[in-house]
Structure 1
């Protein structure tokens, strides 16, 4: 179950099945993102696709006919796209059109296109099921932040998410048993919609199944902890501190960044160094870059001392020819250099250590003192302090000596804005808007995990990674055949064999790269199982707090009335 391979196979079908000759690829905004996740523009051009065009732009361009070009059309089957395509066919600029839709298209829309094809330029119309963003081989996203409004589905987001997950199932040729989180109305509604569409399009799902597959639908509210934590593996860390948007990282607002690095592509499909280091920790990445530096120093006969990431950046500036020899390494030296600067500037090692202790140890007095110490540290960012208080509040909300109110008063004395402080209330309302079987903090299991240290460059020691996402526990229950029917009932079945070999997990409210790492590790450690993770979006802590605010800001406060004196304006 590899979504990147599935999308690549479809793109090959689009570009190679038409007649040989010069081609143009016409897309919409979303299908452009779908393809750019797995192919660079230069790779597309190697497939005889010499021009790329956005369908909305085609209406405004010169009407000069280019009849020698074959137009490959790849669009989502939306009403707006059908309308634009009908207009294009009544005034065709290109010799022939090969039309591909990213999902199921209504028969009425096909009839409408046929009626507008007056010049008979359309040679083919096909459905190719890639209506999602393939992030990693085992990770996909619908690309929908803020899918939940007032604790109910946004109607567009629900329809779009159902279409996206159904296209994943079709692209992988899976007709799964559907199970959903019983305590979530969002999960049940989503599961019913997916099941209805599968039944409606039963002929498309008539696959010969070699193994039983499972679609498991879970709710982000059941684990609000994971998206709040600082991350220490490469992909997750870049997303947390710099933000990855469709495999791109915008560095233009950072000081001292050369123009050619104002936006960098972080794609394992197009970058071998990134592919090798994507799941490695911060210290290991630094070591791997340092080894490449050492190799070049031998060639350059340089004796410049390189001990840390700052030395690496100085070295690259001193030897510009290194850029030619290193390819993508210069990009990674820049990115890791920025990560390193932020870690040191904002005391993120200290912050992360306290975060991890709160999630895995039961020590109210100790945790409270550590948080107060960090609040008094002017170097620690307001957002990190607020997240620490959120974690403390979730952990100790029922503790007899809970001091959430006192911590909020300390934050206010740091002049932290009321908008930022309101996240404490929003997350607590969000977390408590769902009844759960599990403890948010599974201390007993976490204590058993040996503390792991990062070893590598100087200054990158003693960062704990004790936290385990709830998803990891759910997957282990599936392996053991112990996923409870009453907690995760199936749709349309009275009983179900728990031990499905192919498991597709979809998280309403967004997944994280920490959970992606858990799935990667699970697949490696359980060769008899294949797990694919998807979400309405891929969160870092900033986008998660936005998601939470969008979900609960208009909901009457039920659980946080004791928290006072936060200006709600």
Structure 2
């Protein structure tokens, strides 16, 4: 079964294939937000295979290509619309031969009217060959995960929905999120039944109606989309019933963000210095060639093209290590790779064996990085006394011990951990928050 990232990728590439162009080579023009969508869903090579010779950001100064047609992938907003109009109303002539314009989401009535006015007044309508809404306004993180928050490191929606009155723009943000969730449904070909969480109606609870408001906003968007597209959702063979979408807020599980997660991918992101939102990892290993050992530094991308990562990312760390070591032993056993007397008792020994295998580059790339990651996670877990911290966190979060007994001596358990200078403050901060 295809994941949401592959489905989104197919939809975007089909958009390029569907362009009726007089020329073979074309330019792709994006804005900063739509560029994030393309980057998350496709590789540059995918776009170049669509006969794209250049990817230009409409928000920045660009070289003109008056002999090439342009495929615009734009966010439906006034800034991008005005820049589109400016591209074809310059005194020195249009930047491109013509424009095939695609918006990542729906243009509401007022925005469409404003765009029509600007295009007409500037006299650039003759350059616009096509105008479509492709509904791809979300980021696909992996095969089963997507987000409507483009900032990742600074989740702006959290503060505007749950912040103080001065910064609260919940109604406005919920409408935007509903439009993005509509794009998710359109890409998946689903008109789902919507179920939402209703938090307890306690006075003073900030924005306790958010899930119901978002559910109603999304239902309104879906109803309008189905009205304009009577054949949606597409039929399936064999027929299946509608999917169900659950809309929840953090109040349904407020403790999880403050707990250490002990699965492989979660520990990587929590304990190691990863870049690019947890997908880029740098490590060093020793490589032996002709009797000479050299230290090599390598950057790797941890995504779904790495089948080893896909298999272990959601496993409990010990299960992930067991799987890595078992598969590694099977590989070297089948190939007769390890030297007689090689000890493979721990991860470091396995890393040393991998380093001596210049003729097995693919296996080195697949297992070397994950053996290194697993070993570093275990080292930090031990050095930072995380076992004691995790057990304390779980007891505090559950209100009882793992065997159902009443909590006792909590302060006595916390004090030596708080006094230990080698334990990171962020680790104890989690336990303290739970308490």
Question: Above 0.5 in TM-score?
Answer: yes
The secondary structure found in structure 2 opposite 1:273 is helix
1:265 to 283, 292, 301: 301
Residues 354 and 364 in structure 2, CA contact (< 8 A), matched pair in contact too = no
Once the two structures are TM-superposed, the CA of residue 250 in structure 1 deviates from its matched residue by 4.9
Alpha-carbon separation, structure 1, partners of 2:146 and 2:412: 40
| Other-structure match for 1:222 | 252
CA 1:74–1:384: 2 relative to 1, 3 Å = same
Distance 1:299 1:46, change over 3 A: farther
- Whether 1:134 and 2:134 are equivalent positions in the alignment is no
Alignment of 1:438-453 (within 5 A): none
Inter-CA distance 275–103: structure 2 relative to 1 (3 Å threshold): same
Question: What's the offset of the Cα at 1:286?
Answer: 2.7
Larger radius of gyration: 2
Summarize the alignment of residues 284-295 of structure 1 with structure 2, pairs less than 5 Å apart: 284-291=319-326, 293-294=328-329, 295=331
2:107 pairs, out of 105, 108, 118, with 105
Structure 1, residues 259-281: CA drift from partner, whole Å, max 9, x if none? 641xx43221x222222223223
Match of 1:73 in 2: 72
Aligned partner of 2:423 in structure 1 is: 380
- The 3-state SS of whatever aligns with 1:147 is helix
Give deviations 1:495-553, integer Å, cap 9, x for gaps. xxxxxxxxxxxxxxxxxxxxxxxxxxxxxxxxxxxxxxxxxxxxxxxxxxxxxxxxxxx
Q: In 2 relative to 1, CA 119–182 (structure 1 residues): closer, same or farther, beyond 3 Å?
A: closer
> 2:182 aligned to 152, 155, 166, which one?
166
Change (3 A) 1:330 1:66: farther
Q: Distance in 2 between matches of 1:201 and 1:342?
A: 50
Q: Residues 212 and 301 of structure 1: is their aligned pair in 2 closer, same or farther, counting only changes over 3 Å?
A: closer
Partner of 1:35: 38
Deviation of residue 103 (structure 1)?
Answer: 0.6
Q: Indicate the SS of the match to 1:77.
A: coil
3-state SS of 1:231 partner:
coil
Report the CA distance between 1:131 and its aligned residue: 0.9
Q: 1: distance between equivalents of 2:41 and 2:326? A: 28
Farther-moved stretch of structure 1 (327-336 vs 70-79): 327-336
2:202 alignment counterpart: none
1:385 CA drift (Å)? 1.2
Closer, same or farther in 2 for the Cα pair 1:375/1:56, shift >3 Å? same
Structure 1's 285 and 245: CA in aligned 2 closer, same or farther, altered over 3 A? same
CA contact (8 A) 1:77 1:103 kept: yes
Normalized against structure 1, the TM-score is what? 0.59
**1:218: Cα distance to partner?**
1.7
CA distance in 2, matches of 1:324, 1:177: 45
| Greater relative contact order, per chain length (Cα 8 Å cut-off, separation 6+) | 1
Total equivalences in the alignment: 384
Do the aligned partners of residues 306 and 54 (structure 1) sit closer, same or farther apart at CA in structure 2, a change above 3 Å counting?
A: farther
Cross-structure match for 1:182: 198
Determine if the alignment matches structure 1 residue 23 to structure 2 residue 47. Answer: no
The alignment's TM-score, normalised by the length of structure 2, stands at: 0.75
Q: Secondary structure at the match of 2:14?
A: helix
User: What displacement does 1:220 show?
Assistant: 0.6
Cα distance in 2 for residues equivalent to 1:168 and 1:89: 32
Q: How far apart are 1:164 and its partner, in Å?
A: 1.4
**Who is 1:92 aligned against?**
94
CA distance 1:366–1:35, change in 2 (3 Å): farther
For residue 303 of structure 2, give the secondary structure of its aligned residue in structure 1: coil
Give the counterpart of 1:232 among 262, 278, 281. Answer: 262
Match of 2:311 in 1: 276
Q: Is the 8 A contact 1:266 1:274 kept in 2?
A: yes
Structure 2: distance between partners of 1:46 and 1:335: 34
Cα RMSD (Å) of the superposition? Answer: 3.4
Instruction: Name the structure 2 match of 1:305.
Output: 343
* Long gaps (5+) in structure 2: 200-207, 286-294
Distance 2:224 2:106 in 1: 11
